[in-house]
């Protein structure tokens, strides 16, 4: 009998399979394709009419940081992988078989982590088919324990062991924190904006416990917030937070500009950005106040009515974010900083969608939301250098506070 390993996955992963040539944005466009060391060595030994083609396109990666990006396939001038044929099918897979795909190509868009020895698999949102399956389910994301054959290849991104850490480390409570975060994000008694603000207040307090060596009070804090969420007390706090759309839009637009200056390869993201700008008539001649009035109008007239019916899409995005990134401990930053980065992702997506809703008006649809989230993930989420810069920018300008996060989250 084939050997299997235990695995925890969001339910959508059990439905996912690549739609190949039917895909509107093949993953081989816009990115240099990384080739791991083993696959590179296999290519050197190939005897096939593909060999000259491999020799001319697969090159050693001089800036490689390890075995995973040992070599690379450089894209053609149209930013498409040279290995794709006219039907957008991969010639390596067709002629040599799946086992000759590099780790990245054979596992994408799957993201694998190992927590306490158990494999956790989810999907990055830069694949449109994964976005549809993961985010368009109104029932929300559920998780299943399952098994997979040990023959399946995985490129493990992060490993976390919570039982094997010193007693004063926050990793001890990783499971409790992640489950609590997902429970808050899926608590539909509150609007998504409210859920995010509650989570921010919680992580601000968690951060204080960590900094004062009171880590053992974290379970008590979770219990307090769980009770609070079950009562009525939270809505009052939330109604006192002001709506400041000018600051929201200025700050987020600055972050987008910082990314645009560096050059964008995804045509799908460029389309969305153009629609956002048109949707709120973002011109050099307009004052910031005029633009933000139009931004608020697009929010009230088109985004809000649409999202009242489809808020589950962004909820699912955030739940997937938490799971895939081992939030709040996945990046080795402090827990409140992890929360800030999650809010930045959410608020940037929301800002684009508000402008796009203003552009498409009554025709604004889930297809537009899928296109934005997917192309945004490809342009922003996969760019760790840019995200580091964002973190620095927020810190330098002292925007890394709960007050600023509430401004980015709240629109009315």
Residues that bind ligand SF4 (CB under 6 A): 18-20, 23, 25-27, 108-109, 127, 129
* CB nearer to ligand SF4: pick between 370 and 406: 370
We find the least distance from the C-beta atom of residue 148 to ligand SF4, in angstroms, to be: 18
* CB nearer to ligand SF4: pick between 108 and 269: 108
The C-alpha R_g of the chain, in whole angstroms, comes to 22
* CB nearer to ligand SF4: pick between 26 and 112: 26
We find the least distance from the C-beta atom of residue 126 to ligand SF4, in angstroms, to be: 7
We find the least distance from the C-beta atom of residue 353 to ligand SF4, in angstroms, to be: 21
Q: How far apart are alpha carbons 11 and 14 in whole angstroms?
A: 6
- What are the DSSP calls for 238-283, one per residue? HHTSPP-HHHHHHHHHHHHHHHHHT----HHHHHHHHHHHHHTT--
Max CA separation in the chain (angstroms) = 70
Q: How far apart are alpha carbons 348 and 323 in whole angstroms?
A: 20
How far is the CA of 334 from the CAs of 206, 215, 328, 383, 399, in angstroms? 10, 13, 8, 20, 16
We find the least distance from the C-beta atom of residue 129 to ligand SF4, in angstroms, to be: 4
We find the least distance from the C-beta atom of residue 73 to ligand SF4, in angstroms, to be: 15
| Class of residue 143 by CB neighbours under 10 A (exposed 0-12, middle 13-18, buried 19+) | middle
Sign of the Cα pseudo-torsion (329, 333, 334, 340, in order): negative
Q: Which residue has the tokens 């009315």?
A: 412
Q: Given phi > 0 = left and psi -120 to 50 = alpha, else beta, which region is 23? A: beta
* CB nearer to ligand SF4: pick between 181 and 379: 379
* CB nearer to ligand SF4: pick between 26 and 411: 26
Q: Which residue has the tokens 């009554």?
A: 362
We find the least distance from the C-beta atom of residue 26 to ligand SF4, in angstroms, to be: 4
* CB nearer to ligand SF4: pick between 103 and 248: 103
């Amino acid at each position: 009998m084939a050997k299997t390993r235990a695995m925890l996955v969001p339910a959508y992963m059990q439905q996912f399979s690549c739609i190949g040539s039917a895909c509107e944005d093949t993953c081989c466009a816009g990115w240099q394709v990384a080739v791991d060391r083993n696959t590179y060595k296999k290519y050197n030994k190939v005897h096939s009419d593909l060999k000259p083609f491999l020799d001319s396109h697969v090159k050693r990666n001089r800036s490689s940081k390890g075995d995973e990006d040992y070599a690379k396939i450089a894209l053609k001038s149209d930013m498409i992988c040279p290995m794709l044929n006219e039907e957008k099918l991969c010639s390596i897979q067709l002629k040599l078989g799946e086992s000759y795909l590099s780790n990245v190509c054979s596992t994408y868009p799957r993201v694998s982590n190992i927590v306490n020895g158990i494999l956790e698999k989810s999907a990055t949102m830069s694949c449109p088919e994964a976005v549809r399956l993961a985010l368009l389910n109104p029932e929300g994301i559920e998780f299943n324990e399952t098994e997979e054959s040990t023959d399946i290849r995985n490129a493990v991104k992060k490993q976390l062991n919570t039982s094997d850490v010193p007693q004063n480390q926050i990793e001890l409570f990783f499971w409790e924190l992640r489950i609590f975060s997902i429970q808050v994000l899926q608590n539909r008694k509150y609007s998504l904006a409210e859920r995010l603000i509650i989570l921010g207040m919680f992580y601000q307090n968690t951060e204080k416990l960590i900094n004062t060596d009171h880590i053992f009070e974290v379970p008590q804090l979770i219990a307090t917030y769980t009770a609070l969420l079950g009562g009525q007390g939270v809505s009052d706090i939330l109604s006192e937070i002001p709506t400041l759309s000018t600051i929201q839009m200025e700050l987020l637009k600055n972050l987008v500009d910082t990314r645009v200056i560096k050059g964008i390869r995804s045509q799908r993201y460029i389309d969305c950005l153009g629609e956002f700008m048109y949707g709120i008539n973002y011109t050099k001649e307009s004052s910031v106040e005029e633009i933000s009035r139009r931004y608020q109008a697009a929010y009230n007239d088109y985004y809000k009515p649409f999202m009242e019916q489809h808020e589950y899409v962004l909820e699912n995005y955030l739940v997937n974010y938490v799971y895939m990134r081992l939030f709040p401990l996945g990046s080795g930053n402090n827990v409140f900083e992890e929360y800030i980065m999650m809010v930045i992702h959410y608020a940037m997506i929301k800002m684009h969608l508000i402008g796009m809703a203003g552009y498409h008006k009554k025709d604004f649809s889930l297809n537009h939301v899928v296109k934005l989230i997917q192309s945004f993930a490809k342009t922003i989420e996969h760019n760790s250098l840019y995200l580091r810069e964002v973190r620095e920018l927020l810190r330098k300008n002292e925007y890394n506070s709960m007050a600023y996060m509430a401004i980015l989250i709240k629109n009315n």
